[in-house]
Amino acid sequence: MESELLRLNGILWSVFRMAERSWLLRPQVAENALTHIQNAVLRLEEVEIPLLEDTVAAYDSLLLTFGSKDINLQKILQSIKESNDNKRRNFKSHEIKVCYDLGLDWNEVENKTNLSKEEIISIHTSTQYSIAMFGFLLGFMFLEGLDQRIWVPRKDNPRTKVDSGSVGIGGEQTGIYSLESPGGWQIIGRTPDQFFDINNETPTKFTAGDIITFRKISSKEFESLEKKNG
């Protein structure tokens, strides 16, 4: 897959044509790739590019999909002037309640980190995370910012079923299962909060870049909130 270098919002991006109407852009920076990607999305929204149908931000890339295959991407990007006002998207902050007593993999997580359950919970709840992207299933939140002390590899043998709301650790990331699905993350808790509904026009109130914090709750609180949330 051939690539070329194009400039967008003050930095160079390697550009790969992924399909007839889609291009993948990767920022050519040594650090803060996610910040550059989020700023580029904001800039693209500001200038309202004709025929641009969708932008999908990931950890280190940005996918652009247009309504036509006859697009001169170089010409389009050259027409976009770099923003000089340092404008940034106003990301929202969300607190997610987690019952860590419902974690399924505490023995493995404790053994691999050489930390106690209480120490791991303290670290997990004292950190601010940023939503890096959504995937591998609808609404699954990949969160950036996990403390290195509690990095744990994914399970060698994934489960065939992980409950919705499960909070897990997978390598350098923590994440939340929006729906029941198979999965190989180390499950350390579960939230009663509902934050994804496929039947809504806007399935989730969360967006990439939003800030997430976790708050520990008891099993009794979990049961009460789960009933309340229906």
Statement to judge: residues 156 and 220 lie in one domain: yes
88 within some domain:
no
Q: What is the mean pLDDT of residues 3-14?
A: 84
Q: Is 93 exposed, middle or buried (0-12, 13-18, 19+ CB in 10 A)?
A: exposed
Which residue type, as a one-letter code, is found at position 70?
A: D
Cβ neighbours for 41, distance < 8 A, ≥ 6 positions apart: 55, 57, 62, 89, 208
Which residue type, as a one-letter code, is found at position 34?
A: L
Sign (positive or negative) of CA dihedral 68, 74, 78, 83: positive
Statement to judge: residues 30 and 125 lie in one domain: no
Decide if 117 contacts 194 (C-beta within 8 A).
Answer: no
Per-residue pLDDT at 229: 78
Give residue 214's domain range: 93-229
The total domain count for the chain is 2
Q: What angle do CA 118, 156, 188 make, to 5 degrees?
A: 25
Statement to judge: residues 150 and 200 lie in one domain: yes
* pLDDT digit string, tens, across residues 83-119: 544 455 567 899 999 999 999 999 999 999 999 999 9
Residues in the chain: 230
214 within some domain:
yes
Task: Judge whether residue 217 has pLDDT over 90.
Answer: yes
Q: What is the mean pLDDT of residues 23-43?
A: 83
Task: Judge whether residue 1 has pLDDT over 60.
Answer: no
Whether the bond between 136 and the residue before it is cis, its omega within 30 degrees of 0, is yes
Statement to judge: residues 48 and 124 lie in one domain: no
